[in-house]
Copies of this chain bind each other. A is one copy, B any other.
């Protein structure tokens, strides 16, 4: 990682980032790795707003944001990077306005569109790490599939009502179709499909619009996503070269964080539960042994697999 750390910090960077640089485990090299990193935030809503605030604040150098929606009044109880005066503006532009005020140093790249099978690889290929801050299963499977193919680490979170979930996928990335490595006994990192092979039936799907959402719950998950992304980039965990000759660096035990803010109970009753997930699945459609026959970038762009059908959505409606 030498190329990431071979310049000095500017005076402005020193002043702005000093409080996080002096934390044990951070430091100048970690800060330069953040400054040289490119992060894509897909979704500028309840997860994406707080995640973006802290990723921008920490000094990630290039920040792309994808969203095709405009700001609405009903977003504002939880989407804290927008503003009442920016209702009607594209969410991406509204959030970047806020982020530029917070930290003018990073490059902000607006993607004024929903993520689609057609544009996904083009957009995702420009970044080092992806945050899935979307709100529907079809887009979640699409993002994961493209991240597998492009070998990008993915920090995925979701939240509905008073519950939240968070998991780090594809980190460090391993090429598609490789499910065991000689000498590596620990599990290889799973993709979204390894953890959740099939989407729920449409009757069991709920969005924040239909089911409601507590602002602080989705906010906690968004900040937690930023925390994972910053640690991965600052420490170079996405670059751990587990394909190299032995001795192999250990992989990270896959896990899922489950947050439950219990409105039926009193104060201090929220629970955080971390559960162990399985690693890369040999039978995974996207990353398993036979996956190169199922999934390619060209196929995705031409409509195979059909994500809307897979998630039984009316095919016109894939919103972030």
Contact = CB atoms under 8 A, between A and B. Distances in A.
Most buried by B among A104, A213, A227: A227
Contacts of A211: 22-23
Given A19-B212, A76-B102, A228 B263 contact: no
A119 interface: no
Interface size class of A (residues with CB under 8 A): 35 or more
Nearest to A227: B216
A21 interface: yes
Contacts of A215: 20, 54, 57-58, 230
Contacts of A232: 267
A82 B42 CA distance: 24
A194 to B, nearest CB: 15
A103 interface: yes
Given A84-B104, A253-B268, A231 B19 contact: no
A62 to B, nearest CB: 17
B267 A74 contact: no
Interface stretch (A254-262, A279-287, A310-318): A254-262
Contacts of A264: 25
Given A22-B212, A212-B21, A231 B267 contact: yes
A116 interface: no
A10 B58 CA distance: 39
B84 A102 contact: yes
Contacts of A4: none
A268 B263 contact: no
Contacts of A171: 267
Nearest to A238: B267
Nearest to A26: B263
Given A26-B212, A101-B85, A19 B78 contact: yes
A219 interface: yes
A37 interface: no
Interface in A4-28: 12, 15-26
Given A16-B77, A23-B162, 4 more contacts: A20-B215, A24-B212, A76-B102, A254-B268
27 contacts: A16-B74, A16-B77, A19-B75, A20-B215, A21-B212, A22-B212, A23-B212, A23-B263, A24-B161, A25-B263, A26-B212, A26-B214, A50-B80, A53-B80, A53-B219, A57-B78, A57-B215, A83-B101, A84-B102, A168-B267, A171-B267, A216-B226, A219-B226, A220-B224, A227-B270, A228-B268, A254-B268
